[in-house]
Structure 1
Amino acid sequence: MSKLKLRYRDEIIQALNKAQGPIALKVLMKELFPKEEIPKMERLIVKELRFLVKLKEIEKGSGNMYRLRPPKNSRIRVRKEREHDFEERELRMADRELQDMKRD
């Protein structure tokens, strides 16, 4: 049995993260690939989605709707909040540096 290579895992998770709610498979495919490549890549993406559901990173709803799985553990939730705060702090520092450069 060959190993499944998660080639598009990051792109799938990023697309699901951008979506407000559950996203349909067809919409996800349109976001990831050009129109010509969708028929070739659909089987591979469905396999990866099944595997990500098995790993409990995403959830499959009714009618081929997928969404990110919300964190169940409070430790994971706190870690995500810290990462978000760190990113905001980095952006603020970069903005301040730009403003200081403009003043000089």
Structure 2
Amino acid sequence: MHKQIIIARARVKAGRENAFIDSAKKLADMARTEPGNLCYSFYRSVTEPENFIFYEEYKDAVAVTAHASSEAFKAFTEAVRELLDGDLIVDKY
């Protein structure tokens, strides 16, 4: 097994950025405690404040699957469903 990196991009509806940040902070705090998580950060664009990225590193594919199945991740996806302006774009490396 080898390290897995995920970069996810989100575009948030105008005026909903703070609600998104609140949900993202909760997810990041929980994700950082998951076994196999090496790094979990999210960033807001300085030029386009409705755009965000998540940068995630995991020990292996098993850890990625565990994160995607976690209650924290499920709660996040439900909470941000109405906040997003389009789908999350997820790239795996």
TM-score normalised according to structure 2 size: 0.32
Structure whose alpha-carbon radius of gyration is higher: 1
User: Which structure features the higher share of helix residues?
Assistant: 1
